Structures are given as structure tokens and as C-alpha cells.
Amino acid sequence: MSSRADILGRVRAKLNRNAANAAVGRAAIEATLAARVQGPRPAVDPQKSALAARLIEKSLAYSSTVDQVATAAEAPAAVARYMAGLKLPMKAVVWPKLAGLDWPTAGIAVEARGAMDSDLVGITGCFCAIAETGTLMLCGSPDSPATVSLLPETHIALVPASRIVAGMEEGFELARAELGRLPRAVNFVSGPSRTGDIEQTIVLGAHGPYRVHLILLTAE
């Protein structure tokens, strides 16, 4: 028996859960979750333009940078401009689901895979974006490996305007509706990685990217 199976077995024993009453227990848990009541939360204008404006405002406050183009087809050129402006090498690791964009014409050599410690730039999409806090919600999958947003020094994210929601609550509701259940990895990105552990001095890139650049796709 594995350690995981042993621990879960002891939990089930303490709860008096077994094959005969598992369905009843699962129904009770689902009923409790369905009856949950949200606590107080800030008012966020649900209009599409207002959500986009708040996402930009909060992202800039977290030291991210933001660009806007109409569609994903224009994103490679926008990424190339950003990378050229920082004099970064024109190569990146990209989510496999974004590999079909025209990166060669933009002059960017991409590899569609999970990131390694030697990769300097990672390009991702996002499952959705949280306007209230300027946060990206990324759900891991074979087509959207989590490492692409975590290991490279520079993280570039393509954000469709239609995927901006008001708050975390709406983000999780969207995940339950579209995914059925949460994936193994759900990561929330609110600007570059930072720490203030030493003398309360903020340092960027302490345990992740020290640049986060959003490209808002206004027509998608």
C-alpha cells in the first residue's frame, strides 16, 4: 500500500466512509458546496470594457506591462516588438496550444513544450483573467504546461478580452462549468514574482519571472 492510499484509508475510517455509504457522503458534500454563500466583496462593473480597464489598472499596479491588439493573429508581432524593445533573444518556449500562430513571420523561434531552467521567455495564454485583482488564472494541461509561466525570467501572456471575469468566484465557476473538475495545477499570476523578506525591500524575480507582460486581445 502506498503512503497516499494509507493516509486516505485512515481518513475514510475516521469518517466511517465505505463503499456502501460513499454515494450518500458524496451527495452531502456536494449539497454543502452548492449551498455556500459568498462573503462581502468589492463591487466590480461587469461590463466588458470596464473589466478590461480594471484588469489593466491592477496589472500595471503590480508592475506588469500591458499591450493591446485585436486578435491572436496579431499577437506574434506584438510579442516581437516587446522582446526587441528589451533586447531579448528572439526565441521562446510556448504553450503547445499556441504553437499554430505565425511566429516565424514575426521572427521568433518558438518551441512548444514545457519550460526548462535555461528558457528565458515563456509565452502562454490564460484560462481566464480576474479583473478585481489583476490576476491571471492558468490551468495546467498537456497543451498548457504550468512551467512555461513559472521558470522563464520573462512571462508573456495572451489574454482574450472575453475571458476576463470580475472575481475569483467567477473564475472558479467558469472552471467548474467548462472543465468539470479542477485540473492538477491551477496557478494564479498577479504580476512578477516578488518578495520583501529582507528588510522589507521588494525584490522582483525572487522565485519566478521578474517580468510579466500581458497582451490583451480586444476582439476575442
Lowest mean pLDDT among 30-34, 122-126, 135-139: 30-34
pLDDT at 198: 57
Given a cut of 70, whether residue 208 has pLDDT beyond it is no
Quote the pLDDT of residue 137.
97
Whether 87 and 130 share a structural domain: yes
- Check whether residue 18 and residue 66 sit in a common domain: no
- Asked if pLDDT for residue 2 goes beyond 60, the answer is yes
Range of lowest pLDDT (19-28, 35-44, 89-98, 204-213): 204-213
The answer on 183 and 82 residing in a single domain is yes
The confidence score (pLDDT) of residue 210 equals 86
25 and 54 part of one domain? no
Place 160 in a pLDDT band, splitting at 50, 70 and 90: very high
- Terminal Cα distance for the chain, rounded: 49
Number of domains in the chain: 2
Q: Which domain holds residue 24?
A: 1-36
Q: Are residues 59 and 2 in the same domain?
A: no
Query: Cα–chain-centroid distance for residue 201?
Result: 26
Q: What is the pLDDT of residues 3-55, one digit of tens each?
A: 888 898 899 889 888 888 888 888 988 898 888 787 888 888 889 999 999 99
If asked whether residues 30 and 51 sit together in one domain, one would say no
Q: What is the CATH number of the domain that holds 90?
A: 3.40.50.10420
Q: What is the pLDDT of residue 202?
A: 57
pLDDT of residue 52: 97
Query: What ranges in the chain are assigned the alpha helix state H?
Result: 3-14, 22-34, 48-61, 75-85, 103-106, 147-150, 168-179
Pair (139, 190) in one structural domain = yes
Strand partners, 144: 141
Question: Do the bridges between strand 203-204 and strand 135-139 make them parallel or antiparallel, or are there none, so unpaired?
Answer: unpaired
Do 158 and 196 belong together in one domain?
yes
Least confident segment among 88-92, 149-153, 176-180: 176-180
Same domain, 49 and 32: no
